Amino acid sequence: QWAEKRSEIRSKLAKALGGFPNSKCELEPELIGTLDFDGYTVERVVIQTIPGVQMTANVYRPDGPGPFPAVLCVHGHWKGAKQDPTVQARCIGLAKLGFIAMAVDAFGAGERAIAQQLGEYHGEMTAAMLYATGRHLAGIQVYENMRCADYLQSREDVDSENLAITGTSGGGNQTMYAGALEQRFKAVIPVCSVGNYQAYLGVACCMCELVPGALTFTEEWGVLGLVAPRALMVINATQDGIQFSVAEAKKSLAGVAVVFEKVGAADNVRHVVVESKHDYNQPMREAMYGWVTLHLKGEGDGSPIAEPPIETVDRELLRCYPEGQRPASFVTLPKLARRFAGQMARRQVEPVHVEHWEAEREAKLGMIRRHVGRHGNKVEIHDGIAISEVKQGVSVQFEVSPEEGVRCGFRWTKGTGRQILIASSLEGSPLSKEEREWCIEHGIDLLEVTLRATGPYGPKGNRIGAALDHNAAQWAAWIGRPLAGQWIVDLQAAVGWVVAAYEEVPAVSLVSLGAAVVPTLLTAGLQSRVKQVIALDPPLTLQSDRKYGDGQIGAILPGMLSDLGDIGQLISLVAPRSTWVIAGKTMQGENLERRELVDSLSYAASIYKVNDSRALHVLTAEGRADWLERVFAK
């Protein structure tokens, strides 16, 4: 039974992480320099993990001929990355105890950040650049750690059959996933990172720790169980956050213990609890030394081993490239994301005839429905209103529950009942006071929607850095229901309310502000009742080699570039109906240049052409101020 479950979890985990390349590029290791210390040396090394992508590393090598067992040491969110004293300490200790220790910079961190100064954070809107490609940061980290195993096994001074991996915090998560999927790691030691996926739903974690949809196929015990029958030591601190707490870890380890027992390796799993805050301190390191000594050297009983004298050095000494000297060709996270995005966007081939497009459109709508997920069709209205009693030009606010346990806000303004704008934004009001007054003056009905998890419905502390909806977007991803899909449910409820509330259904236009363009376009694709889409200030392309500006991760569907296309390409789903694109933007919030605007809309334009429709309208930023007059001139 476990063998079957193991195969299922392993397959789904690899897919959720974004999958791995079918073939490996050459490592092309380059020794940059060597530092000599008492009893060991540190090699500054660069290896190629993905074509054109270099990983910076420090290899701590004991004096002597070897071969030595080796431990891959991955860092967490300490500003010094592989150079941080927290990482140096365990590497020095391992080297003095007769192990090769390899410390590496995670993608987007340390020497591999966008800027060359140490300390840059690789999460929030930086990591979000990979999200739409489906090649998630967590998956890239796992794959690169597998390439480190390749490199270690290529060295003559490494005992290639005896490798281990360890890390703390975010590095502990890397350890767990790489240890689960890479069989060559004989011992796996995640520190201050094991808890329970359910505990993630309510706290912030880095995008490098996110596995979209994980809770649809497993809990954390299932991932840790993939390590069996190899050696697993989980180390927790008593004063850690709830997601990494001792209590949550025990929930996972209860399931893990059953797996290890079933495979006849009950002694190969151990839980160590240290009275400490979030760290990788000396007692934790000493527990790890004993574990790797037992399982890589076959010595001792796995009990803690006293740490030899340790003296860390200035972290700048350990850099492969001193600040300002990194090669201009060095591939950073945004550059790789741009490469992936370009490759995937080109898969959207312009159809040659309408039948070709109709088949493709149906396939895309099926993908959208999967992102929307299953939900109840019953929409509950709170503080119900009697439309007949409301006078023209008067606004009424009320709440609806598009599905059980969820609320969003509606603000309805009565007009003449001939046309209605259903407007949404992911931050603030979708319409300005002046735009609202214009609509009232011209008898246009309004339904302004405050979507779930936005505005007053968003959780406290939702913003992390430039990611305005960081936490809510991650929690939605964990359960396999991305926010963009949930927002479609809200907008569908708005359309449904209009249909139910009016005796004669008015012409429905969906209006989006900013990144709300994504759920708006997808809703229009699913809803034939929508006659027109008006996109105000929409980002039109996810392709960029610069970090995204302030924005919403929830507006990005995981893997959408491969499945559905770029944002501008989503407009094709509305064809042949009318679409207005007004003041198109980059993901940094800048106005698109004319050439960029044409490129981002070329695919959609081809769909309108094949449908013999001229209803795709584009206004530049200069036409933004009087868009209502232009759109409703008739």
pLDDT in tens, 415-472: 999 999 999 999 999 999 999 999 999 999 999 999 999 999 999 999 999 999 999 9
SS3 sequence of 465-526: CCECCHHHHHHHHHCCCCHHHHHHHHHHHHHHHHHHHCCCCCEEEEEEEHHHHHHHHHHHHH
Residue 325 has pLDDT above 70, yes or no: yes
Side chain identity, residue 516: A
Contact in structure between 411 and 396 (CB atoms under 8 Å): yes
pLDDT at 437: 96
Strand partners, 59: 43, 102
pLDDT of 376 strictly over 70: no
CB atoms within 10 A of CB 634: 3
* pLDDT above 90 for 387: no
Rounded mean pLDDT of the chain? 95
Mean pLDDT of 2-24: 96
pLDDT at 532 (0 to 100): 98
pLDDT (tens digit, 9 = 90+) per residue, 54-83? 999 999 999 999 899 999 999 999 999 999
Q: Would you state the pLDDT for residue 279?
A: 97
Measured CA to CA, the distance from residue 138 to residue 134 in angstroms comes to: 11
Express each pLDDT in 529-584 by its tens digit. 999 999 999 999 999 999 999 999 999 999 999 989 999 999 999 999 999 999 99
Q: Tell me how far apart the alpha carbons of residues 119 and 370 are, in angstroms, rounded to a whole number.
A: 39
- The tens digit of pLDDT for each residue in 159-201 reads 999 999 999 999 999 999 999 999 999 999 999 999 999 999 9
The CATH homologous superfamily for domain 351-631 is Alpha/Beta hydrolase fold, catalytic domain (3.40.50.1820)
pLDDT score of 384: 65
Right CATH number for 2-340 from 3.90.79.10, 3.10.450.50, 3.40.50.1820, 3.90.550.10?
3.40.50.1820
> What are the residue ranges spanned by the domains of the chain?
2-340, 351-631
Q: What is d(CA 232, CA 186) in angstroms, rounded to the nearest whole number?
A: 9
pTM of the model: 0.95
How confident is the model over 28-53, as a mean pLDDT? Answer: 98
Helix axes 470-478, 483-501, angle to 10 degrees: 90
The position carrying tokens 């009983």 is 301
Please tell me the distance from the alpha carbon of residue 517 to that of residue 536, in angstroms, as a whole number.
Answer: 8
106-137 pLDDT, tens digit per residue, is: 999 999 999 999 999 999 999 999 999 999 99
Query: What is the rounded distance in angstroms from the CA atom of residue 103 to the CA atom of residue 397?
Result: 57
What confidence category does residue 373 fall into, taking pLDDT thresholds of 50, 70 and 90? confident
CATH topology agreement for domains 2-340 and 351-631: yes
